[in-house]
Every structure is written in structure tokens, then in C-alpha cells.
Structure 1
Amino acid sequence: MRATARFVSWGGILLSGASGSVFGAAVTLWIGATGMTLSVLPNILSPLRALRSLPTRGELGPVG
């Protein structure tokens, strides 16, 4: 878990550094702000928002 978090973190740092070199600081900040804003969409559009109770094992279907 720790290695995965570090990999994702360093990947974001390297990607933002490369983006800053290519597009400039202002555009890179706008790209980051847009990406962070759009990252909410999967949660908003998810059917889990309407879920009021946990499903039982029978409702999940065959598991494992």
C-alpha cells in the first residue's frame, strides 16, 4: 500500500513537472484544477448515492 501511494504521488509530481515545462505554470494549474473538479463526477453519477442500506449476500450474486 505504501509503495503504491508513493508511486502514484511521484507519478503526479513528474507529470505536473513535465506539464509545467511544456505548457507553463498557469495552464498547468488550470489543468490540475479542472482534473480535481471533474474527479467528483464518478461519485455524483454513481448508483451508490441512492443506496440506503447495505446489500445482503444474496443480492450481490455469486461472490468468490
Structure 2
Amino acid sequence: MMRTAYQNHDQWRHDYGAPPIPLASEVAGRYLEPFLTPWLYGPATPPTPGHPDWVVTPVPRG
């Protein structure tokens, strides 16, 4: 179930772009830009602490 959710999220980001960081920060109630920027706009997905085996399968551009 979680794998499907992540795959759907990757496709959503591919189709519509990343969600705005200010909105995410507002919803979370804390400033998330330093955390989210590498994840959303970096050239590669940062390592996930405690889960070195997690990898990202890029969505094919078409």
C-alpha cells in the first residue's frame, strides 16, 4: 500500500510539480524549507535516515 502511495506521489509531482513549501510549512506549523528544498528541487533524493535501502525510481518523462 505504501509503495503504491509513493508511486502515485511521484507521478503527481511529475504531472503537476512540487507542492508549495510555504503551504506545507503552514500545515505542519513549522518552517520546512531547509528540509523540503533538497527533497523537492535537488538533483537526487537525499538519503533517508534509518533507511539506506530506500531508493527512488524516477518517473519517465514523456
Decide: shared fold, TM above 0.5: no
- TM superposition score normalised by structure 2: 0.33
Larger Rg: 1
- TM superposition score normalised by structure 1: 0.32
User: Bigger relative contact order, structure 1 or 2, given CA contacts below 8 A and separation 6+?
Assistant: 2
